[in-house]
């Protein structure tokens, strides 16, 4: 986020200049940014040694009608106070990615909640203001409002200067791998795919609208991403809802990603937290896998569906030629959607809720059962 503040300013300026208004946000290259001070510190360092890049990932943002009704103001919607307590954590990393499960088509399309969602564009504004830099938008709800919903949502993300991945406005847009690039850190590509779209078919000839899980397509996208970036973070919308452990298919697809050299797999859809795991790819590379990050911000009321979190890790340069960039030091902030404050849906660090300390300890054990070294952010 530190760096992204500068990038956001640049994007805003860019949006005011007609000449570059058409330029898609597929690559954010900070090379030309004069206010990135850390560059000069490393100008003598060997080209292959980079500073670590810290990335945070949060789970499902699922805006039910009861959530946006609660956020209503005289002139629109304000979700910012609901994220206020987690904002200091979300802004800490270089890059924060969220799974935006409901499309922000905006009120022109008619707002709606479950089962066919369309969310206010203010959700995007609040995420951006709270520290989110990238949204993964390949979900089972991507086509809830059809092609129009996707187009409106993408327009709203573009107006905000936010990078989106997983759903696209054209074939050309889909083919442009999203990459974050800075002079001193590893560059990273963000890919995203969903198992399906609740039975809603993609309009004929427009498969670019939503990326679907397809092993050969994923393999070819990973190969293209490798040419553009040092590291790859891939989001999968998969698994069984409300299951605390990953399915065989989640394991198989994550292993496939590891075998292709992906550095980090971020899973979502089950709406509950699943354990983290290290996988070893066929070339001996290490892959950090979060099978499900649970709900981060939703109106789902059941206790386990209120628990979610933020995974943070560093991408570091190694001397291992077979695995030159590795995810290291995974750490987890467990969050809870509280209904006890001024707002009925308020995301708070779970450790701050003393009455749930037993559940908090259980959640820590559950998440770290296959990764004993996983640490927790309080």
With CB under 5 A as the contact rule, which of the stretches 120-128, 224-232, 269-277, 283-291 interacts with Zn ion? 269-277
Q: Which x/- pattern, by CB under 5 A, does the window 36-65 give for Zn ion? A: ------------------------------
Q: Which residue is nearest to Zn ion (CB)?
A: 269
Kindly state the smallest distance separating residue 307's Cβ from Zn ion, in Å.
16
| Dihedral pair phi/psi, residue 278, rounded to 5° | -95, 130
By the rule CB under 5 A, 269 interacts with Zn ion: yes
With CB under 5 A as the contact rule, which of the stretches 84-92, 132-140, 199-207, 279-287 interacts with Zn ion? 132-140
Kindly state the smallest distance separating residue 361's Cβ from Zn ion, in Å.
28
Kindly state the smallest distance separating residue 198's Cβ from Zn ion, in Å.
9
Nearest to Zn ion of 291, 343 (CB atom) = 291
Nearest to Zn ion of 169, 269 (CB atom) = 269
Size of the chain, expressed as the number of residues it contains? 378
By the rule CB under 5 A, 140 interacts with Zn ion: yes
CA–CA gap between residue 142 and residue 209 (Å, rounded)? 9
Size of the site for Zn ion (CB under 5 A): 2
Kindly state the smallest distance separating residue 194's Cβ from Zn ion, in Å.
8
Token code pair at residue 159:
């107006």
Per DSSP bridges, beta strands 178-181 and 163-165 are: unpaired
SS3 at position 212: strand
Nearest to Zn ion of 269, 305 (CB atom) = 269
With CB under 5 A as the contact rule, which of the stretches 140-148, 171-179, 350-358, 369-377 interacts with Zn ion? 140-148
Kindly state the smallest distance separating residue 314's Cβ from Zn ion, in Å.
28
Per-residue DSSP letters for 263-308? SEEEEESSSSB--EEEEE-TTS-EEEEES-BBEEEE---SHHHHEE
Q: Which residues contact 265 (CB under 8 A, 6 or more apart)?
A: 234, 235, 236, 254, 257, 258, 279, 287, 288, 289, 290, 291
Kindly state the smallest distance separating residue 280's Cβ from Zn ion, in Å.
28
Per-residue DSSP letters for 95-120? EEEEEE-S----GGG--B-TTS-B--
Residues found near Zn ion in the complex (CB under 5 A): 140, 269
């Amino acid at each position: 986020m530190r760096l992204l503040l500068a990038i956001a300013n640049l994007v805003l300026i860019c949006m005011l200049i007609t000449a570059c208004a058409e330029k898609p946000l597929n690559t954010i290259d900070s090379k030309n940014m004069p206010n990135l001070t850390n560059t000069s510190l490393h100008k003598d360092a060997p080209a292959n040694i980079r500073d670590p890049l810290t990335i945070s990932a949060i789970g499902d943002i699922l805006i039910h009608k009861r959530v946006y009704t609660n956020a209503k103001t005289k002139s629109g919607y304000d979700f910012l106070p609901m994220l206020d307590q987690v904002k200091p954590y979300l802004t800490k990393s270089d890059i924060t990615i969220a799974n935006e499960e409901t499309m922000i088509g905006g009120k022109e399309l008619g707002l709606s909640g479950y089962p066919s969602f369309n969310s206010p564009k203010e959700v995007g504004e609040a995420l951006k203001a709270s520290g989110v830099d990238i949204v993964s938008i390949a979900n089972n709800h991507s086509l809830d409002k059809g092609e129009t919903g996707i187009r409106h949502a993408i327009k709203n993300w573009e107006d905000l200067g936010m990078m989106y991945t997983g759903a696209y406005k054209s074939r050309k847009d889909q083919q442009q791998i999203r990459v974050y690039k800075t002079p001193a850190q590893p560059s990273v590509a963000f890919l995203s795919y969903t198992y399906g779209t609740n039975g809603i078919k993609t309009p004929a000839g427009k498969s670019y609208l939503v990326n679907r899980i397809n092993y050969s397509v994923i393999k070819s996208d990973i190969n293209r991403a490798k040419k553009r970036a040092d590291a790859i973070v891939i989001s999968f919308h998969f698994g069984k809802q409300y299951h605390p452990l990953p399915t065989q298919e989640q394991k198989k697809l994550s292993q496939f990603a590891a075998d292709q050299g992906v550095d980090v797999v971020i899973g979502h859809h089950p709406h509950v937290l699943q354990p983290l795991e290290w996988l070893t790819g066929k070339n001996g590379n290490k892959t950090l896998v979060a099978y499900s990050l649970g709900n981060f911000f939703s109106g789902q009321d059941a206790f386990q569906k209120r628990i979610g979190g933020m995974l943070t890790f560093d991408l570091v340069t190694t001397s291992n030629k077979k695995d030159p960039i590795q995810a290291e030091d995974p750490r987890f902030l467990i969050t809870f959607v509280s209904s006890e404050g001024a707002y009925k849906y308020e995301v708070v660090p779970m450790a701050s809720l003393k009455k749930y300390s037993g559940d908090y300890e259980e959640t820590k054990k559950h998440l770290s059962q296959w990764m004993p070294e996983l640490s927790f952010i309080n």
